[in-house]
Amino acid sequence: MIDEFWYNKRVLVTGADGFIGSHLVEELLRRKARVTAFTRSTSTHGTSQIELKHLKSVAGELERVIAGSVSSPETTRIIEDAAPDVIMHLAAEAYVPRSFEHPEEVFAVNAMGTLYVLEAARRLPRLERVLVTSSSEIYGTALGDRAIDESHPLNPTSPYAASKAAADRLAYSYRDTWKMPIAIIRPFNCYGPRHVYDVIPKFIKLALEDRDLTIYGSGEQRRDFTFVTDMVRGFLLMGSHPKAIGEVVNFGSGVSHSIAHTAELIVALAGSSSRIVNNTARLAEVNHLRCDAAKAGRLFGWKPEVDLEEGLKMNIEWVRMQRRR
């Protein structure tokens, strides 16, 4: 069903050259979709330029590359002019600590950027689907230490999480107000090749350099880590399956691991001599995130295929290969 849906479909992906976005674009191209990549522009000597990082090898297969800032009102016109059949909106400022120092910029990209994408979608009468990327961070710490399903209250603890909650609810409001074909995906912590921030890529880099891995707080805080290939399957389903329209769906492994255990596992798998040390807890720390992905299974038959140890082995090997280049 996925392959048939995507064949020759005009798909616009925001955040296309990012971590998840680049993997998603590659899968869309394999399914013969006509992909327009919306990516962040770089500025050199006052001149805006397009410089792909992760998509260089498939640049010739792209229908079009658009560079700009999703937080600019111009985004609405740019997307409207591209006239896609499907919009996959992934562009975001996704590094939580950045929102402590630059809350305005993070909110502008994550909330206002989503608003501009939705406004473009509202002006496209033939649009078949808008997929808006939310985040598990909008839930805050799990109530009662339970797995988090889609009915869990939204209790964002950081400016980043609040900006994603705003984007999530904006999408919901557009769906209800204008009866638009909107789907909202709530990914739990995703990791894998090309990811360069957050705990797993940082720990892998440090372990391969035999440097100390710093844990903020006790290390007992727990996360649901999901490998990128499993997550991309979720994005493809949410962008194509008829049952996804109007739905909010969690995607995660359903298993939570402490940060301390994750650090120990990475050190062991990397064959590293790194020490694990503790530092002061970070602001707005979420104590426990574990996904209840029963809805994804019920609607689409989705389930994760890569466990944490297998995923970490693949991720570590990828980083090693990059270091040899």
The token pair that represents 192 in the structure block: 């894998």
The token pair that represents 7 in the structure block: 């064949």
pLDDT at residue 44, as a whole number:
45
d(CA 25, CA 14): 10
Architecture of domain 2-191+226-254+289-305: 3-Layer(aba) Sandwich (3.40)
Q: Which of 108, 114, 117, 167 is nearest to 137 (CA)?
A: 167
Which tens digits make up the pLDDT trace of 274-292? 999 999 998 999 999 999 9
Segment-wise mean pLDDT, segments of 10 residues, the chain, 325 residues: 86 98 98 97 56 95 96 97 98 95 98 98 97 98 92 97 98 98 98 96 98 96 98 98 98 98 98 97 93 98 98 98 92
Q: Supply the DSSP symbol for 217.
A: S
The token pair that represents 284 in the structure block: 């707005």
pLDDT at residue 46, as a whole number:
46
Phi-psi category of 248—alpha, beta or left, where left has phi over 0 and alpha has psi -120 to 50?
Answer: beta
d(CA 193, CA 205): 12
d(CA 256, CA 44): 42
Tokens 């598990």 — which residue? 136
Which tens digits make up the pLDDT trace of 47-83? 456 789 999 999 999 999 999 999 999 999 999 999 9
d(CA 132, CA 140): 19
Tokens 């998509």 — which residue? 55
d(CA 1, CA 13): 20
pLDDT at residue 47, as a whole number:
44
pLDDT at residue 145, as a whole number:
79
